[in-house]
Amino acid sequence: MRINKYIAQAGICSRRKADELIANGNVKINGAALKEPGYEVADGDRVEVNGKLISAKQKPEYVLINKPLGMVTTVSDDKERLTVMDVVADIDARLFPVGRLDYNTSGALIMTNDGELAYRLTHPKHEVYKAYRARVAGILSNEKAARLRKGVDIGGFVTSRAKVNVIKGTQHSTIVEIAIHEGKNRQVRKMFSAVGNPVQELERVAIGEIRLGHLKPGHYRKLTRDEIEYLKNC
């Protein structure tokens, strides 16, 4: 098994992140720093990541959390802020977040120790839509909504087509649901700013067909068998 896949199956991180660990010298095979990113792990090899012995054999775990505002989507934080790991602290498995949500964005986030699934969900070719509910400043006109659906320039990058549904609005703000399959940094906020309606509140309500529902902020639930199969095949 290729080393980056081995690390992913051990629940350390995705294959992409595993390649970074290898390049940075954080992976050892039988006590020696690995210099070959395409290394095939053989039976009996001792694999260490960041000084800890790992194994690719483990029970896969899949959970959906409702990330609260003011929490970072990282495994650890040098500023000692709350991280998404605090939400799943009682699960006896080494989970990591699939993708990320900004500090000031709440909502649906999948956590797992299945690196292959994480790779699938974050790879652009699979086009898994993520739906957000936003409160934006001012009136989001039909013309602006059409621009968002078609794609807007957010600074050197034109977004792909989006699904936009205006729920309700007043003179001061509009509540709108938007679904995108890309994952550029702060993309939804930049999209609304591009049409003159900056985001006031933002919550991710769904990842593909998996919706947040009534899950309370700071809580998690395990994914059902059907939901896991959906994610593996979407």
Query: What would the DSSP string read from start to end of 138-160?
Result: S---HHHHHHHHH--BSSS-B--
Residue of 98, 176, 100 whose CA lies nearest to 144: 176
Identify whether the C-beta of residue 178 lies closer than 8 Å to the C-beta of residue 106. no
The string of pLDDT tens digits covering residues 15-60 is 888 999 999 999 999 999 998 889 999 878 999 999 999 887 778 8
Write out the two tokens for 157: 């990058």
Residue-range domains of the chain with CATH:
3-54 (3.10.290.10), 62-124+210-233 (3.30.70.580), 129-207 (3.30.70.1560)
Q: Is position 114 annotated as part of the catalytic site?
A: no
Write out the two tokens for 81: 């802020």
pLDDT for res 120: 83
The string of pLDDT tens digits covering residues 96-129 is 999 999 999 999 999 998 888 888 888 777 788 9
| Distance between start and end Cα atoms, the chain | 24
Q: How confident is the model at residue 170 (pLDDT cuts 50, 70, 90)?
A: very high
How many angstroms separate the CA atoms of 195 and 232, rounded? 35
- Mean pLDDT for 151-169 is 96
With b for 16 or more beta-carbon neighbours within 10 A and e for fewer, the 157-169 pattern comes to eebeebebebeeb
Which of 19, 102, 114, 153 is catalytic? The answer is 102
How many angstroms separate the CA atoms of 44 and 24, rounded? 24
